[in-house]
Structure 1
């Protein structure tokens, strides 16, 4: 979530109104999701299905339709990243820097000056470049993950977040304030097509199993979009059924049947059938639900609850929350990623100028590392996977 533009003030006002309404209204109201411990749909039943998926032309074939994250197992590093040192790259939105952490030593080893208000560090589709999204600087700073050195910035307007189409052809810039999805050449970043949107605050996304569409969250108007990848066209648009909704991160389930959308004002996540695009169900997780991260074995998803300093753990097979970890002394866990071996969850502390390292087996805090001001979309790199769909690291 951005913090330095006029729209933030408007969003804050809307958020206060939403909280007031939430406390005043009956929790069973159609406008306010029920705060349950379980999702309302039937539990997922993992099925082994090796049937061929008719994917977007040019997209790598799906290894396992029953688990689209099968290529993300520990040790399955692509040849493209062999020899890259393991690092955590932290964009500090208020300091205009990227802090580089050695994850083995839990120590800051470098600070890289970048453009104005860096929001996310995004691995490129071909895994060879990390792109720093300098939102107010209207540029992308490339970092070579082999050397850790920054290159010459590329002019890109309003790059709040960045994704890549599954065929590797296009980068998709989430131009939040411009109210556009901008398709650009994935290598040169030249504009191919700018798609206007009628919602406010496009920010996060994830792609369907076959890559033919993707779901986008609209932070400031509480909406979600369905976008046809090949046609570069918004084909569906719906408002979430919660007054004052503020959707954030988006992730698809391992079997590809559902999309999960974190909502920091509803304090949980929406569960959406992307194919049918019907009314979503809701699962309460914690105050300020923000980031969503899949475990290396595809069994669990970690949900960062920024407003209460906790991480909820969702079990896909059981279709429910099974654990909640609390950061000692509190904090503001935001965006991040899982280590290559799956043992550590790394999250930025958005309002505390720090980064948290959390043991994924026990929920124990392993380290709390001071960084610059306003740390946001950090990237753990390299990670397993054949290619990147963007954000802080969505790998297939």
Structure 2
């Protein structure tokens, strides 16, 4: 008995000595075994984002990579098995929470920056850049302006608006980032291809030839497939992202003109806007085959998803329609100001407003509940693209408002 008691006493003494040594090591300037970051730094899923800062909304997982590690270590599978589980109201990634809400309007001559609360012009970026669209980077800390006139992508720091060195890219019709963040996929109109590039430097890595000229698209549930739409050819193309090859082509019925693409919340269906037929196609994500058509209004071309992921907004031809994902029925049709051919730029963080822009120089927000115009601004230029930034999500997939 005395031997066991002495042994226990020695173990307690040793534990106490180790604890004291740990405290002395920390006091002497040795680093903590847990990485601490100032607010706004660190990854979205880090165990500690910042002392005194907001806690991350994603539950930390064992063995998470540090902020300095490559972004490819971020989990690809959506939380809870739902595609948009991390894009609900207010779920801004920690790294983007300190960024002011802004509207970035590409008007073919530059990018006008607007405060969505006051609708005041607060800046102009990329003067001399014939931007046709603005796309957030995978980590949402950078914006890429696509200039199809000068064949360049221009990097812009999201927080400061500082312009970086343009990257030469032939006819950048679309820019996407796989969920793992390991690559940038630049969709080129001429020649028809997908260029695989470094997501930070945009240095080319590989090229995937396409059978038709594509632009809009979205990723499958696991992000292994990118489905692109070819408007002129009336077709969809399925690209195997890891294999860097075209895995299939789907010809839609004659007369179809596919536009924007969105994945359903359950990951089983791609919805494709069709301006010519005035509605959206439902395409089985696994079989890559049509599974129905929902008629909304003539000119349907742009798509956006509500913050609760229950409705699909379809814009175009002077009409905004709301489609219920579960029943695949139109639940509302609202006229848009002036009957213009508006394109959606994104849903507000709280989910109450959908921002749109039309070529006539109007940028406005409509209520996602009633369709009523909440506020609007008239610009001098002719908007060609609209980006609402930042938006809820763990990361950006590029395109027009694609987040997971």
- TM-score over 0.5 for the alignment? yes
Counting only pairs closer than 5 Å after superposition, residues 1-396 of structure 1 correspond to structure 2 as: 58=73, 60-64=75-79, 66-93=81-108, 96-114=109-127, 116-199=129-212, 201-243=213-255, 245-305=256-316, 307=317, 309-350=318-359, 352-396=360-404
User: 1:354–1:371: 8 Å Cα contact kept in structure 2?
Assistant: yes
List gaps (5 residues or longer) in structure 2: 1-71
**CA distance in 1 between partners of 2:107 and 2:167 (Å):** 19
Question: How many residue pairs align between the two structures?
Answer: 333
**CA distance in 2 between partners of 1:277 and 1:327 (Å):** 33
Residue deviations 1:308-362, cap 9 Å, x none?
Answer: x110001112221100111243222113111111111011112x11212111121
Distance 1:223 1:61, change over 3 A: closer
RMSD: 1.6
Distance 1:216 1:114, change over 3 A: farther
User: 2:76–2:179: 8 Å Cα contact kept in structure 1?
Assistant: no
How far apart are residue 58 of structure 1 and its match?
Answer: 4.5
**CA distance in 2 between partners of 1:64 and 1:320 (Å):** 27
**CA distance in 1 between partners of 2:266 and 2:380 (Å):** 38
User: 1:170–1:184: 8 Å Cα contact kept in structure 2?
Assistant: yes
**CA distance in 1 between partners of 2:215 and 2:257 (Å):** 11
User: 2:76–2:223: 8 Å Cα contact kept in structure 1?
Assistant: no
**CA distance in 2 between partners of 1:234 and 1:355 (Å):** 37
**CA distance in 2 between partners of 1:196 and 1:249 (Å):** 21
Question: Larger C-alpha radius of gyration, 1 or 2?
Answer: 2
**CA distance in 2 between partners of 1:260 and 1:120 (Å):** 22
How far apart are residue 163 of structure 1 and its match?
Answer: 0.4
**CA distance in 2 between partners of 1:181 and 1:61 (Å):** 21
**TM, length-normalised to structure 1:** 0.81
SS in 1 for 2:86: helix
**CA distance in 1 between partners of 2:242 and 2:380 (Å):** 39
**CA distance in 2 between partners of 1:183 and 1:75 (Å):** 32
SS in 2 for 1:188: coil
**CA distance in 1 between partners of 2:323 and 2:114 (Å):** 28
SS in 1 for 2:394: coil
**TM, length-normalised to structure 2:** 0.79
**CA distance in 1 between partners of 2:381 and 2:190 (Å):** 22
User: 1:117–1:135: 8 Å Cα contact kept in structure 2?
Assistant: yes
How far apart are residue 292 of structure 1 and its match?
Answer: 0.7
User: 1:313–1:322: 8 Å Cα contact kept in structure 2?
Assistant: yes
**CA distance in 1 between partners of 2:77 and 2:354 (Å):** 26
Corresponding residue of 2:58: none
Distance 1:117 1:281, change over 3 A: farther
**CA distance in 2 between partners of 1:143 and 1:223 (Å):** 33
SS in 1 for 2:236: strand
Bigger Cα displacement from structure 2, 142-151 vs 169-178: 142-151
Residue deviations 1:246-294, cap 9 Å, x none?
Answer: 2111000000010001111121111100211123421111111111111
- The higher-RCO structure (CA 8 Å, 6+ apart) is 1
User: 2:76–2:180: 8 Å Cα contact kept in structure 1?
Assistant: no
